[in-house]
Amino acid sequence: MDLRILPDGRVGLAAFTSLTSLVHNCGNGQPWGLVDERGLAEIRASAEIDVVLLDAPLPSLDRRIRAESSTPDTYMTDPLR
């Protein structure tokens, strides 16, 4: 989980609608996992998350970039491949 403290003090959970969006907004070195809407709701309920940030870009300094690969790290297989 990638939690962010927003300027107004709320806690935001970064979530992305596609692997392409994740790589574009976070960099190709961003670890990821796949959850459905129910899983997202469970994550939100289990942590003090105020808002889900859909497809929100990370600041450049926070992005995880790996030069040797265009695919982010994961322990899962992309179901769309």
What is the residue range of 13's domain?
A: 3-62
If 0-12 CB within 10 Å is exposed, 13-18 middle and 19+ buried, where does residue 25 land? middle
4-17 tens-digit pLDDT: 899 999 999 999 99
Domains held by the chain: number: 1
Per the model's pLDDT, the better-predicted residue between 81 and 1 turns out to be 1
Residue 71 has pLDDT above 80, yes or no: no
Q: Residue 22: inside a domain, yes or no?
A: yes
CB neighbours (10 Å) of residue 22?
A: 19
Per the model's pLDDT, the better-predicted residue between 81 and 65 turns out to be 65
Query: Can you give the pLDDT at residue 32?
Result: 86
Q: Residue 50: inside a domain, yes or no?
A: yes
Per the model's pLDDT, the better-predicted residue between 68 and 4 turns out to be 4
Q: Name which of 20, 28, 21 is nearest 64 in CA terms.
A: 28
Type and span of the H or E element at 39: helix 37-46
Share of the chain above pLDDT 70, in %: 83
